């Protein structure tokens, strides 16, 4: 599949059109941002790692009957994906308190929830991806009630699958962000990426952070953490 035209360049990825309107090519960059682009940097090798990790996890999900946009990895940094219209919602699932949850509600990190939580942010960089509820999403015409119900149920199913998968790798899946898209036929499928950029991973034994929080919080050994996660994932 050949790239024809650059369609969109985001903070971490570039999306290209191909000669077939049903497919796009995604290219993963080493660029890293945090706090809505306020903090900028590069994580050497991140694009290659996030490409591999995302594709591996999407294939695990496909085996569990979750439809994803994944088609084929075509190079270290590039993957062919189905052409979907991204639903402008960041869907965040949390199993353990951390990040903006701890900040917003004034609780320490590391509280293990009895039940996972779900929240939505409205995907708009100019607005700083504000938190919204389902009623806001309906009012903004972001998705229909049925679509939101479907997204919630797929997101919780993905959480069940990934939580037990990561447990076997001695990793606690603290929280993660998903994005969904609509195919040209109107089916809702998982899109975007699942990587150390978009998940919080803590080593189950040492509790070492193995994700982008090392970059966000200047914890050091950012590349090492990404590499460690890739190695654990591609072996399983
Ligand atoms: P948060 O605690 O900052 O709200 O982040 C929750 C999860 O979502 C965390 O795993 C990181 C991920 N995330 C993204 O993928 N993109 C973003 O822009 C933000 C803010 C968080």
For ligand 1, say whether the CB of 199 is within 6 Å of any of its atoms.
yes
Strand partners, 182: 85, 188
The structure tokens listed for 137 are: 């999403």
Q: What is the pLDDT of residue 16?
A: 98
Site to substitute for ligand 1 among 197, 198, 201, 217, most atoms within 8 A of C-beta: 198
pLDDT tens profile 114-159: 999 999 999 999 999 999 999 999 999 999 999 999 999 999 999 9
For ligand 1, say whether the CB of 159 is within 6 Å of any of its atoms.
no
Q: What is the pLDDT of residue 154?
A: 98
Taking the CA of residue 176 as reference, the ligand 1 atom at the shortest distance is 10
Q: Tell me what the pLDDT averaged over the chain comes to.
A: 97
Task: With cut-offs at 50, 70 and 90, classify the pLDDT of residue 236.
Answer: confident
CA–centroid distance, residue 85 to ligand 1 (Å): 21
Cβ-based neighbour number of residue 137 at 10 Å: 21
Is pLDDT above 90 for 22?
yes
Q: What is the pLDDT of residue 39?
A: 98
pLDDT tens profile 74-89: 999 999 999 999 999 9
For ligand 1, say whether the CB of 132 is within 6 Å of any of its atoms.
no
Is pLDDT above 90 for 93?
yes
Query: Tokens 């085996």 label which residue?
Result: 63
pLDDT tens profile 161-173: 999 999 999 999 9
As a whole number, mean pLDDT of residues 55-70 equals: 98
The string of DSSP codes covering 188-220 is EEEES--STTTEEEEETTT--B-STHHHHTT-S
pLDDT tens profile 28-51: 999 999 999 999 999 999 999 999
Which of helix, strand or coil describes residue 213?
helix
pLDDT tens profile 181-234: 999 899 999 999 999 999 999 999 999 999 999 999 999 999 999 999 999 999
Q: What is the pLDDT of residue 204?
A: 98
Taking the CA of residue 211 as reference, the ligand 1 atom at the shortest distance is 10
Q: What is the pLDDT of residue 184?
A: 85
End-to-end CA distance of the chain: 28
Q: What is the pLDDT of residue 232?
A: 98
Q: Is the pTM of this model over 0.85?
A: yes
Residue 165, φ and ψ in degrees, nearest 5: -60, -50
Is pLDDT above 90 for 1?
no
For ligand 1, say whether the CB of 88 is within 6 Å of any of its atoms.
no
For ligand 1, say whether the CB of 71 is within 6 Å of any of its atoms.
no
């Amino acid at each position: 599949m050949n790239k024809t035209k650059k369609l969109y360049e985001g903070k971490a990825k570039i999306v290209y059109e191909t000669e077939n309107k049903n497919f796009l090519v995604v290219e993963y960059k080493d660029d890293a941002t945090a706090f809505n682009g306020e903090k900028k940097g590069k994580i050497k090798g991140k694009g290659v790692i996030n490409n591999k990790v995302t594709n591996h996890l999407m294939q695990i999900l496909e085996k569990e009957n979750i439809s994803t946009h994944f088609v084929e990895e075509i190079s270290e940094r590039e993957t062919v994906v189905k052409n979907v219209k991204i639903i402008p919602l960041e869907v965040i699932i949390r199993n353990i308190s951390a990040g903006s949850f701890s900040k917003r509600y004034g609780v320490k990190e590391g509280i293990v929830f009895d039940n996972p939580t779900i929240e939505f942010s409205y995907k708009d960089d100019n607005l700083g991806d504000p938190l919204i509820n389902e009623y806001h999403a309906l009012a903004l015409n972001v998705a229909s009630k049925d679509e939101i119900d479907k997204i919630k149920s797929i997101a919780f199913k993905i959480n069940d699958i990934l939580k037990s998968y990561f447990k076997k790798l001695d990793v606690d899946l603290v929280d993660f962000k998903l994005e969904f898209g609509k195919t040209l036929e109107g089916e809702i499928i998982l899109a975007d990426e699942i990587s150390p950029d978009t998940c919080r991973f803590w080593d189950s034994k040492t509790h070492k952070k193995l994700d982008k929080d090392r970059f966000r919080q200047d914890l050091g050994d950012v590349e090492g953490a990404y590499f460690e996660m890739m190695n654990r994932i591609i072996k399983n």
